[in-house]
């Protein structure tokens, strides 16, 4: 297996890191996708309850609805703030990674290779072989292929056809499609 000399600073790097961040946000916030519908439903119940005549039942319904609604609104605000803070941190991380690659890329050559059994990584200081079994999912976005382990999205490896060449890209894509499951919304990472 001949290793491929890589230049990690490519026009695709920004898009690759943006895809990883987007995937992380999807995995993190997917469970909250029904929250807006819940809020809308409670607002509708509250509005309907406003038009009902006051009695013990409707006053209790209004009180409970307002309490739950306020708790959910507060939770939504906190979730939104968390989202914005995390997004800013990820954007700064992306820029720092790109800057680091721009500074280090000339000094630290990186090599990558693969065969039917393993993926190979080599720098000046280490050589590593990782079995395909370590990775579980793969997907393609823009001109890049992403290969994910089952538990940490940031342990993904990703290469574009401009980094490894179209022939190697096609071979890697073919091997990934045979050895790994396609990444879908259902299985996430």
pLDDT at 135: 92
Q: Are residues 149 and 90 in the same domain?
A: no
pLDDT classification of 146: cutoffs 50, 70, 90: very high
Q: Are residues 91 and 158 in the same domain?
A: no
Q: 99 is in which domain, residue-wise?
A: 17-104
Q: In the predicted model, is pLDDT for residue 185 greater than 70?
A: no
Residue pLDDT, tens place only, 99-124: 777 776 555 667 888 999 999 888 77
In sequence order, the 6+-apart residues with CB closer than 8 A to the CB of 23 are 153, 189
Task: Tell me which of 130 and 6 has the higher pLDDT.
Answer: 130
Average pLDDT estimate for 127-138: 91
Q: Are residues 65 and 30 in the same domain?
A: yes
Average pLDDT estimate for 48-57: 81
pLDDT at 22: 83
Would residue 66 count as lying in a domain?
yes
* Rounded-to-integer distance, Cα 153 and Cα 186, Å: 15
Q: In the predicted model, is pLDDT for residue 187 greater than 60?
A: no
pLDDT at 188: 56
Last residue of a domain, one of 104, 124, 159: 104
Say whether pTM exceeds 0.75: no
Would residue 118 count as lying in a domain?
yes
**Over the chain, what is the mean pLDDT?**
83
Q: Are residues 95 and 126 in the same domain?
A: no
pLDDT at 106: 58
Query: What CATH number does the domain containing 141 carry?
Result: 2.30.29
Q: Which segment of 8-17, 60-69, 172-181 scores lowest on mean pLDDT?
A: 8-17
pLDDT at 112: 87
Gyration radius of the chain over CA positions: 24
Q: Are residues 64 and 129 in the same domain?
A: no
Would residue 2 count as lying in a domain?
no
Q: Are residues 99 and 152 in the same domain?
A: no
Would residue 12 count as lying in a domain?
no
Q: Are residues 95 and 153 in the same domain?
A: no
Do 58 and 52 form a contact (C-beta atoms < 8 A)? Answer: yes
- Helix intervals (H) in the chain: 13-29, 35-50, 56-104, 161-164, 166-179
Q: Order of strands across the sheet with 110-114?
A: 4-6, 110-114, 118-122, 127-131
Would residue 40 count as lying in a domain?
yes
Residue pLDDT, tens place only, 59-108: 887 888 888 888 888 998 998 899 999 999 988 988 887 777 777 655 56
Do 136 and 180 form a contact (C-beta atoms < 8 A)? Answer: yes
Would residue 10 count as lying in a domain?
no
At residue 102, the 3 state secondary structure works out as helix
Would residue 119 count as lying in a domain?
yes
């Amino acid at each position: 297996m001949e290793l491929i000399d890589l230049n990690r600073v490519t026009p695709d790097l920004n898009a690759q890191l943006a895809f990883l961040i987007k995937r992380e946000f999807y995995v993190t916030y997917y469970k909250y996708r029904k929250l807006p519908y819940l809020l809308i439903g409670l607002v509708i119940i509250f509005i309907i309850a406003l038009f009902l005549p006051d009695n013990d039942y409707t006053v209790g319904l209004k009180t409970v609805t307002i309490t739950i609604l306020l708790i959910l609104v507060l939770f939504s605000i906190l979730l939104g703030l968390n989202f914005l803070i995390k997004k800013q941190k990820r954007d700064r991380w992306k820029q720092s990674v790109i800057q680091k690659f721009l500074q280090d890329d000339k000094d630290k050559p990186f090599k990558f290779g693969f065969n039917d059994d393993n993926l190979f990584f080599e720098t000046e200081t280490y050589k590593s072989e990782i079995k395909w079994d370590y990775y579980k999912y793969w997907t393609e976005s823009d001109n890049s292929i992403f290969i994910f382990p089952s538990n940490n999205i940031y342990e993904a490896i990703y290469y574009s056809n401009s980094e490894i060449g179209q022939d190697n890209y096609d071979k890697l894509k073919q091997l990934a499609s045979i050895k790994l499951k396609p990444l879908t919304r259902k299985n996430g990472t």
